[in-house]
Amino acid sequence: MGLVKARAAGNGAAFDAAPEDAPRLDHPDAVQRRRAVQALAGDADCVDKLVTLLRVEKESLVRQAAFLLLASLNSREAARGVSVLLSDADAALRNGALETLAAMPDHAGPLLASLGQDEDADVRIFAVLLAAELQDPAAADWLVALAAHETDANVCSNLAEALGGTGRIEAAAALTAIGTRFAGDPFLGFAVETALQRLREA
C-alpha cells in the first residue's frame, strides 16, 4: 500500500487501457450513448447521424459531445446540418446549435443569407445572434442589409442590439430606418437609441 508505480504494478496501468468497442447510439445509458457519438468521428455519414440524434436526444451530456464533434468537423456540411436545428422547438438545442455555428465562422457566415430569408422569425433571430457572434465585416454587412427590410419587431430588436455592436457608420442609418419603421413602439425606440449611443461611443 502507499505510493506505487502503475507500470511496475502491472495490472492494467491507466496509461495503457485497452480499446473499447463502441456502443449503439440508442443505448439506454447516456454515458454509453455519448461514447457512441464520439465513435462517429471519421464516419462518412457523421453529420446526418448526429443531427438526427440531436433532434431526439435529451441528455445534455450526449448533446454536448455531439455538438463538439460537429464543431470539430468544421465543414460546410456540418454547418448546414447544425443550422437546421435553429428551428427546433427546444431552446437549449437551438442555443447549442448557435454556439456550434459560431465555432465554425468560415462555414457559418455563408449560411446567413438563407437563414435571413427563413419564414420563421425565431430562425431569423438566431441568424442575427449568430452574425453578432461572428464579428466579421461580411456578417456586419448582412446585418445592415437585413435591417433594411425586416418587419418583425422581435427580429428588429435583436438587430438593433447586434448593429450597435458592429461599430460601423452604415449601421446608424440602418438603425434609424428601424426606428422609423416602428415609430409607435417605445421598446424598439429605446433599443435603437441605445444602439446608436453605442455606435457613437465606439
Partner 1 sequence: MATSPPPGVLPGAKAVRISAEDVTVFCDFFYKKTGISMDASRRYFIDRRLEDRIAANECRSFREYLALVKFQPGGSEMQALINEMTVNETYFFREDYQFTCLTKRMLDEIAVHKIAGRDRIRIWSAPCSTGEEPYSIAISILENWSRASDFDIEIMASDIDTRALGRARNGIYQARALHRVSQRIRDTYFRQIDADNWQVVKDLRDSVDFGVINVCDPAQMARVRGIDVIFCRNLLIYFDDLSRRQTAEHFFDALNPGGFVALGHSESMSRISGIFLPRKFPEALVHQRPLT
**In angstroms, what is the minimal distance from the CB of 149 to partner 1?**
34
* All cell numbers assigned to 186: 417605445
Cell numbers for 100: 456550434
CB of 157 to partner 1, least distance (A): 27
Contact map string, positions 63 to 102, toward partner 1, x by CB under 8 A: -xx--x--xx------------------------------
Cα–Cα nearest to 47, from 74, 78, 15: 78
- Exactly one of 26, 41, 120, 202 binds partner 1 (CB under 8 A); that residue is 41
Told to check if 5 binds partner 1 by CB under 8 A, we report yes
Among the listed residues 161, 149, 148, the one whose alpha carbon sits nearest the alpha carbon of residue 188: 161
Alpha-carbon gap, residue 165 to 58, rounded angstroms: 34
Q: Locate 137 and state its grid cell.
A: 465585416
Instruction: Supply the minimum distance, in Å, between the C-beta of residue 191 and partner 1.
Output: 28
State the residues that interact with partner 1 by CB under 8 A: 1-9, 12-17, 19-20, 35, 38, 41, 60-61, 64-65, 68, 71-72, 103
